[in-house]
Chains A and B, each alone.
Chain A
Amino acid sequence: MPADLRLEKLRKEFASPEGVTVVAVDDVSLEAEKGALVTLLGPSGCGKTTLLRMIAGFEEPTSGKIWFGDRRVDELAPNVRDTAMVFQSYAIFPHLNVYENVAFGLRMHGVSKSELAERVGQVLELVGLTKMAKRAPSQLSGGQQQRVALARCIVMQPKLLLFDEPLSNLDAKLREQMRVEIRDLQQRLGITSVYVTHDQIEAMAMSDVVVVMNAGRVEQVGSPREIYARPVSRFVADFIGDANFLPGVLLDARTVRIAGATLTLADPCQERPGSNVVVVARPEAMNLARAAEHDERAAGTLFGAVKRTMFLGTIARYMVEVGGLPDLQVDVASPAETGLLAPGTHVSLAPGALHALADA
Chain B
Amino acid sequence: MFKRAWQELRIIARDPILLALIVLIMAALVVFVVWPLARVLLTAFQAPDGSFSLSNFELLGQRRLYRNALRNSLVVGGLVGLVGVVIGYVAAFVLTRTNVPFKRVLHTLVMLPIISPPFAGAISILFLFGFNGLVTRQLFGLTNFSIYGMHGVVLSQVFTFAPIAYLNLRGVLAGLNPTLEDAALNVGASRWQVFWRVIFPLSLPGVASAFLVVLIESMADFGNPLVLGGAAFPMLATQAYLEITGSFNLARGAMLAGVLLLPSITAFAIQRYYLAKRQYVTVTGKPTASTSKIVSPAAKWSLYGVVVAFAVVVIAFYAVILLGAVTRVWGFDYTLDLRHFRYVFAVGWETVKDTLIVAVLTTPVSGLLGMLIAFLVVRRRFPGRAPMEFMSILNFAVPGTVAGIGYILAFNGPPLILTGTLAILVLNFVFRYVPVGIQSGIAVLRQIDPAIEEAAQNLGANAITTFRRITLPLIAPAFFSGLVFAFVRAMTAISAAIFLVSANWNLMTVQILNEVGSGRLGVAAAYSMVLLAIVLVAFGVINLIVGRGAEDATSVRF
Instruction: Please indicate the chain B residues that have their CB under 8 angstroms from the CB of A108 in the complex.
Output: 456, 459-461, 465
B11: which A residues are within 8 A, CB to CB? 60, 77
Q: Is the CB of A91 within 8 A of B7?
A: no
Assign chain B's interface to a size class.
20 to 34
A228 at interface, CB cutoff 8 A: no
In the complex, chain A residues whose CB is within 8 Å of the CB of B454: 56, 58, 78, 85, 87, 91
Task: Check A79–B470 contact: CB distance below 8 A.
Answer: no
Cβ of B552 under 8 Å from chain A: no
Complex Cα distance, B455 from A84, in Å, reads 8
Residues of B within 8 A of A109 (CB): 460
- Whether A56 and B458, one on each chain, are in contact in the complex, defined by CB atoms closer than 8 angstroms, is yes
Contacts of B456 in A (CB 8 A): 93, 104, 108
**A91:B455 contact, CB within 8 angstroms:** yes
Tell me, rounded to whole Å, the shortest Cβ–Cβ distance linking B164 to chain A: 32
Q: Chain A, 284-319, contact with B by CB distance < 8 Å: what is the 0/1 string? A: 000000000000000000000000000000000000
A131 in the interface, Cβ–Cβ < 8 Å?
no
**Cross-chain contact A93 with B455 (CB below 8 angstroms):** yes
> What's the Cα separation between A116 and B460 when bound, in Å?
15
Interchain CA distance A297-B385 in the complex, whole Å: 74
The CA-CA distance from A80 to B452 in the complex, in Å, is: 17
Q: Is the CB of B15 within 8 A of A77?
A: yes
Contact with B along A77-95 (1 / 0, CB 8 A): 1111001110111011111
A76 to B455, CA, bound (A): 16
Give the distance to chain B from A106, nearest Cβ to Cβ, in Å.
Answer: 9
How many Å lie between the Cα of A84 and that of B454 in the bound state? Answer: 11
Contacts of A11 in B (CB 8 A): none
B289 is an interface residue with CB less than 8 A from chain A: no
Q: How far is the CA of A84 from the CA of B459 in the complex (A)?
A: 6
B473 at the interface (CB under 8 A from A): yes
Whether B58 is near chain A, meaning CB under 8 Å from some CB there, is: no
Asked if A212 lies at the interface with its beta carbon under 8 angstroms from chain B, I say no
A294, B137: Cα distance in complex, Å: 117
- Within 8 Å of chain B (Cβ to Cβ): is A105? yes
Give chain A residues whose Cβ lies under 8 Å from the Cβ of B15.
Answer: 77
Rounded to whole Å, the gap between the CB of A146 and the closest CB of chain B is 14
Cross-chain contact A104 with B449 (CB below 8 angstroms): no
Does chain B have a CB within 8 A of A156? yes
Q: Is the interface of B mostly helix, strand, loop or mixed?
A: helix
Report if A156-B459 is in contact (Cβ < 8 Å); known contacts: A76-B14, A88-B451, A108-B465.
yes
- Across the interface, B462 reaches (CB within 8 A) one of A79, A89, A92, namely A79
Q: Is the CB of A89 within 8 A of B449?
A: yes
Taking CB atoms and an 8 Å cut-off, the chain B residues in 440-480 that contact chain A are 449, 451-452, 454-462, 465, 469-470, 473-474
List residues 55-107 of chain A with CB under 8 A from any CB of chain B: 56-58, 60, 75-80, 83-85, 87-89, 91-95, 104-105
Which of these, A15, A84, A88, A92, contacts B458 with CB under 8 Å? Answer: A84
Given the known interface contacts A77-B15, A108-B465, the answer about A91 and B451 at a Cβ–Cβ threshold of 8 Å is yes
User: Which residues from B are CB-within-8-Å of A85?
Assistant: 454-455, 458
Given contacts A87-B451, A88-B451, contact A79 B457 (CB under 8 A): yes
Are A83 and B458 touching (Cβ within 8 A)? yes
Chain A residues within 8 Å of B4, by CB: 15
A152 within 8 A of B: yes
Residue from the set A80, A85, A91 with the largest chain B CB neighbour count within 10 Å: A91
* Chain B contacts for A92, CB-based, 8 A: 452, 455
- Are A79 and B461 in contact (CB-based, < 8 A)? yes
Q: Of B452, B460, B469, which contacts A79 at CB under 8 A?
A: B460
* B473 and A79 form a contact (CB under 8 A): no
* Chain B hits for A105, CB < 8 A: 459-460
Whether B452 lies near A91 (C-beta < 8 A) is: yes
Residues 104-124 of chain A, each 1 if its beta carbon lies under 8 Å from chain B, else 0: 110011000000000000000
B474 & A60 in contact (Cβ 8 Å cutoff):
no
A109 to B459, CA, bound (A): 9
CA distance A209 to B14 in the complex (A): 33
Closest CB in chain B relative to A68 CB, distance in Å: 14
Chain B positions within 8 Å of A104 at CB level: 456, 459, 461, 469
What's the minimum C-beta distance from B55 to chain A, rounded to whole angstroms? 46
Q: Give, as a whole number of angstroms, the nearest-CB distance from B181 to chain A.
A: 33
Q: Which residues of A are found within 8 Å of B7, using beta-carbon distances?
A: 60
| Assembly CA distance A93 to B470 (angstroms) | 7
Q: How far is the CA of A89 from the CA of B451 in the complex (A)?
A: 7
Alpha-carbon gap, A60 to B14, bound state (A): 12
Q: Is the CB of A87 within 8 A of B455?
A: yes
A110: nearest chain-B partner, CB-CB: B460
Name the A residues within 8 Å of B458 (CB-CB): 56-57, 78-79, 83-85
| Bound-state Cα–Cα, A58 to B456, Å | 12
What chain B residues lie within 8 Å of A84 (beta carbons)? 458-459
What are the residues of chain A within 8 A of B451 when measuring CB–CB? 87-89, 91
Closest to A103 in B: B459
Instruction: Please give, as numbers and ranges, the residues of chain B lying within 8 Å of A79 by CB-CB distance.
Output: 457-462
Give the distance to chain A from B268, nearest Cβ to Cβ, in Å: 26
Q: Determine which residue in B454, B455, B470, B474 has the highest number of CB atoms from chain A within 10 A of its CB, and name it.
A: B455
A93 and B459 alpha carbons, distance in the complex (Å): 12
Residues of chain B with a CB closer than 8 A to A94's CB: 452, 474
Q: How far is the CA of A8 from the CA of B29 in the complex (A)?
A: 42
CB-nearest residue of chain B to A95: B473
* Of B4, B14, B458, B461, most A-chain CB atoms within 10 Å: B458
List the A residue with the shortest CB-CB distance to B473.
A95
Interchain Cβ contacts under 8 Å between A and B, 24 examples: A15-B4, A56-B458, A57-B457, A57-B458, A60-B11, A75-B14, A77-B14, A77-B15, A78-B458, A79-B457, A79-B459, A79-B460, A84-B459, A85-B458, A89-B449, A89-B451, A91-B452, A92-B455, A93-B456, A104-B459, A104-B461, A105-B459, A108-B461, A156-B460
B contacts, CB < 8 Å to A: 4, 7, 11, 14-15, 449, 451-452, 454-462, 465, 469-470, 473-474
Taking A58-B457, A85-B458, A93-B470 as known contacts, 17 extra A-B pairs with beta carbons closer than 8 A to each other, sorted by chain A number, are A56-B454, A56-B458, A57-B458, A60-B11, A77-B462, A78-B457, A79-B457, A83-B458, A84-B458, A91-B449, A91-B454, A91-B455, A93-B455, A108-B456, A108-B460, A108-B461, A152-B455
Which 9 pairs across A and B sit closest by C-beta, in order of nearness? A105-B459, A108-B460, A91-B451, A91-B455, A77-B14, A87-B451, A95-B473, A91-B452, A78-B457
